[in-house]
Amino acid sequence: MSAENQIIPTEALREKIRKYSKNIRDIKRNCENDSLRFGLGEIQSKIIELENLTEKDVQGLANRIKRRKHASAEDMYRLSHAFLQGIGNIRAFSMIPGAIQTLVKELTGTNAEQQFHACETLCNLSLGEAPVCEKIASMAGSYLVTYLDCTEERLKRTCLWTLTNIMATGGKGALVLISMEIVPKLVTIYLQEDNEDDYREDAAVALDVITSDENIKLRPSDLECLLLKFHTKNPTSPGAEYHLRIIFNSGIIVPGVILTEEQVNYLMNFSVANLSQTENFEGIPNRMRILYAIRLLANLLALDSACFNILIDKCTIWNTNLVKLLNRLFEIKNKQLSVEVLWLVKNIVACQSNSFPASYFFENLHIPGDSLPPVTTVS
């Protein structure tokens, strides 16, 4: 398993969205307006039944909405609960031909409330396995991507969750969505600053899922979109902890890709800020900030030795110096992290700077012994 997957397993991202979706649904359920919409005055009296819907119940609901070619708000509410209760209920629903098409019909209709209920139901259905997600992508993907441009907060956010669930399964579902221009839309949402309803963290998770999957190839136009805009991200805005990871995993910081002076300065400043301001290596956000700052700095130095002087300047701006910064990372005493820092040190030394000769590093760096490669001897 790659280091990236160890930091943020795809299933962990899906579980986060699953819990987030359920929490929002529970909050909405207790609101008066939602009680009216969903008919919860009656449903709450059957709450035990709702929390214990079986595969047989789901099959019955699926056959009913298929036969009627219509799903009521209560039908979709019950299905949404059922899908959250287990993968078996999702599989049972997906096995009924025409059931998903009925939900898509409600999603694409003219009734705004029905659109949202259908989207929410599809979101929880997308917690299933790849074949289910591929069906959703093929039947509803174009509508879900189009609704990312809408102004209705609940519908837009639920579309983001649904699309992220689909992409987290990888494979055909993700490729279908990429062909539907999802990446430029996600980049725009992620980088947008003047937005009252904040979707930036959700968009960051979606972009992270796409760029972290080694089996998903972004189109040249998608890479160009990210390359042209990545340096407009405010380092303190929502989702910024994903930013350097998204850039690194997208593969745009490689030989042959020309960065502007502004972009190089942006990356160097963002990286040094992460390393000097992140207090510890605990938790996924902090691990992303530190690890990908190190990797990007190492890549930038390898691509252009002139970046060394920029690195020194950025350390001064953030009230530190290079050796102090590196020792601070070694003091975390994480073996994987120390190996990454050693790679950065190697690239620093390779710059062959007169102001920072290699001997200076070896004399002043406090490198943990267990991070050094084993010494082999010849008898």
pLDDT in tens, 53-105: 889 999 999 999 999 999 999 999 999 989 988 899 999 999 999 999 999 99
Any domain includes 207: no
Q: Is residue 33 exposed (0-12), middle (13-18) or buried (19+ Cβ within 10 Å)?
A: exposed
pLDDT at 358: 66
| Residues 362-373 pLDDT 10s | 788 888 766 555
Is 141 among the domain residues?
no
- Predicted local distance difference test score (pLDDT) of residue 248: 96
- pTM of the shown model: 0.85
Answer yes or no: are the C-beta atoms of 53 and 89 closer than 8 Å.
Answer: yes
Give the pLDDT score at 215. Answer: 86
Q: What angle do CA 306, 307, 309 make, to 5 degrees?
A: 80
**Is 324 among the domain residues?**
yes
| Residue 27 domain flag | no
Domain for residue 360, yes or no? yes
Asked if residue 52 lies in contact with residue 93, where contact means CB atoms within 8 angstroms, the answer is: no
If one counts the domains in the chain, the total is 1
Is 81 within a domain?
Answer: no
In the block, tokens 């003219």 appear at: 110
| DSSP line for 149-161 | G---HHHHHHHHH
Task: Domain of residue 279: give its range.
Answer: 253-371
Cβ 244 vs Cβ 289: under 8 Å:
yes
Whether 284 maps to a domain, the answer reads: yes
Residue 216 is predicted with a pLDDT of 87
Is 24 among the domain residues?
A: no
CA distance 131 to 126: 10
Stretches in the chain below the pLDDT threshold 70: 1-51, 195-197, 352-358, 360, 369-379
Q: Are 312 and 269 in contact (CB under 8 A)?
A: no
C-alpha pair distances (Å), 122 with each of 140, 155, 166, 353: 9, 12, 10, 57
* pLDDT at residue 50, rounded to an integer: 62
